Amino acid sequence: MSQQEEVQTIDSTAETVTGDEVATQGKDDLGAQWLRLVYMLLFWIALRLSEFAIGVTMLMQFVYRISQGEHHPKIMAFGDSLSQYVASIAAFQTYQTEEKPFPLGNWPAPKNAVITSSSESSDTSGDGAKASA
């Protein structure tokens, strides 16, 4: 097969895209990017509000821990979900994902179980007494 025949064979199997199709695809993508910018700005506001919610959650957990001597499991679960929500906003804003965070997506479920206090985790005897060295 000559070089000219190879070029004709390749040209006949290639998909033909006109200049108008390329321009239309570019406009569609440009419109989608501007819309994404609007979403990213709205999620940036949600991120700022989430920072406030983190502060309130931190103070509530602190007060509960000081007054009761243990973690509040529901506050911990909310804090875990909130931290995942913040991470999902950051992932969307940095183009790591196309999935939009809450309220356009689902609120993340907490992953971690309740963390025990350091005194409970160092208890090895099972009866509340700490093991001696």
pLDDT on residue 49: 96
- For residue 85, being part of any structural domain is answered with yes
- For residue 96, being part of any structural domain is answered with yes
DSSP 4: H
CA distance 12 to 122: 73
Q: Is the pTM of this model over 0.85?
A: no
- For residue 52, being part of any structural domain is answered with yes
pLDDT on residue 50: 96
Give me the domain span that covers residue 50. Answer: 43-117
- For residue 132, being part of any structural domain is answered with no
Give the DSSP letter string of 5-48: HHHHHHHHHSPP--HHHHHHHHHHHHHHHHHHHHHHHHHHHHHH
- For residue 111, being part of any structural domain is answered with yes
Query: What DSSP element (H or E) covers 93?
Result: helix 73-93
Q: CA gyration radius for the chain?
A: 27
- For residue 50, being part of any structural domain is answered with yes
pLDDT on residue 25: 58
CA distance 97 to 120: 39
**Burial of 20 from C-beta contacts in 10 A (0-12 / 13-18 / 19+):** exposed
Angle at 92 between CA 86 and CA 94, to 5 degrees: 100
Q: Which two tokens stand for residue 104?
A: 């356009």
Query: What DSSP element (H or E) covers 122?
Result: none
- For residue 16, being part of any structural domain is answered with no
pLDDT on residue 60: 96
- For residue 30, being part of any structural domain is answered with no
Q: What is the pLDDT along the chain (133 residues), one digit of tens a residue?
A: 555 555 555 555 555 555 555 455 556 788 899 999 999 999 999 999 999 999 999 999 999 999 999 999 999 999 999 999 999 999 999 999 999 999 889 999 998 755 555 444 444 444 444 444 3
Structural domain total, the chain: 1
